[in-house]
């Protein structure tokens, strides 16, 4: 990554950028932003105004941070503030959009909090310490992701939903508005409610992702086999064991369901 040894980035005169930060030459830093030591920002990223970025934080190319987003803040944990011993960090990929008042915390240990690429974080969303979040996700207004949660690719969260600590949300899942997830969310499904339970297959999300129709048909059969009430008297575990795993997405679903304790529906 290029550093400030190149021509100066476009920094507003009211912004405060620590001399130990490394900014690519075309990074934009708007009015009243604060960029701390240990921050590295790659080409094309833009801090629009009133953005705070603390380090150690590494930010990839072409990210956009809207006003009052706070990125790389210390983990919100009782055992005290970290960040001065190199054990707390945040890594963000490329082409993400962070809207107003989004907060993303650094990790509480050796492994960083990680955010992938091409995600949209709407106003007021929170990504806690040690979260691993994939790519192509939509995190709507005021969504709360607790510490150590894992969010796979292509997940969509409705507004005001929440994920508890150490929970995994599978790929292409849809977490409905207001849903509270206290157990793992299988891939490819819609969950809704407090507490969140499986309601349907996320067909719309799969289509938008570009999943082939044959794979969607296979997932529909697998969903009917495992989640539709009754299952012909077959237990949940037996239904998962008997799934036709010739399709790779059904294989991913079966693998996720095999790790659950009982019927996640």
- Which residues are known to be catalytic? 129-130, 147
Look at residue 215 and give its three-state secondary structure.
Answer: helix
CA dihedral (30, 33, 35, 39) positive or negative: negative
Residues 6+ apart with CB under 8 A from 95: 60, 61, 62, 63, 117, 118
Q: How far apart are CA 80 and CA 28, in angstroms?
A: 33
Place of tokens 């292509």: 154
Q: What are phi and psi of 83, to 5 degrees?
A: 115, -10
Question: Dihedral, CA atoms, 182, 116, 137, 25, nearest 10 degrees?
Answer: 140
Specify which residues 46 forms β-bridges with: 28, 64
């Amino acid at each position: 990554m290029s550093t400030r040894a190149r021509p100066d980035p476009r920094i507003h005169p009211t912004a405060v950028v620590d001399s130990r930060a490394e900014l690519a030459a075309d990074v934009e830093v708007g009015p009243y932003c604060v960029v701390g030591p240990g921050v590295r920002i790659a080409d094309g990223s833009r801090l629009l105004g009133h953005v705070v970025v603390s380090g150690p934080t590494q930010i990839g190319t072409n990210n956009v941070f809207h006003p009052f987003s706070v990125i790389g803040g210390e983990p919100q944990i009782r055992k005290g503030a970290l960040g001065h011993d190199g054990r707390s960090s945040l890594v963000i990929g490329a082409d993400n959009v962070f809207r107003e008042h989004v907060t993303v915390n650094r990790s509480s240990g050796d492994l960083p909090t990680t955010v992938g690429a091409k995600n949209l974080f709407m106003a007021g969303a929170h990504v806690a310490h040690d979260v691993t979040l994939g790519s192509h996700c939509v995190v709507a207004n005021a969504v709360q992701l607790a510490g150590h949660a894992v969010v796979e690719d292509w997940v969509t969260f409705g507004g005001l939903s929440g994920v508890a600590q150490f929970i995994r949300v599978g790929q292409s899942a849809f977490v409905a508005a207001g849903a509270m997830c206290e157990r793992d969310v299988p891939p490819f499904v819609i969950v809704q409610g407090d507490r969140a339970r499986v309601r349907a297959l996320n067909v719309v999300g799969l289509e938008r992702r570009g999943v082939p129709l044959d794979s969607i048909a296979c997932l529909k059969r697998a969903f009917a086999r495992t989640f539709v009430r009754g299952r012909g008297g077959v237990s949940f575990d037996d239904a998962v064991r008997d799934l036709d795993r010739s399709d790779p997405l059904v294989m991913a679903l079966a693998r996720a369901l095999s790790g659950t304790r009982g019927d996640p529906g």
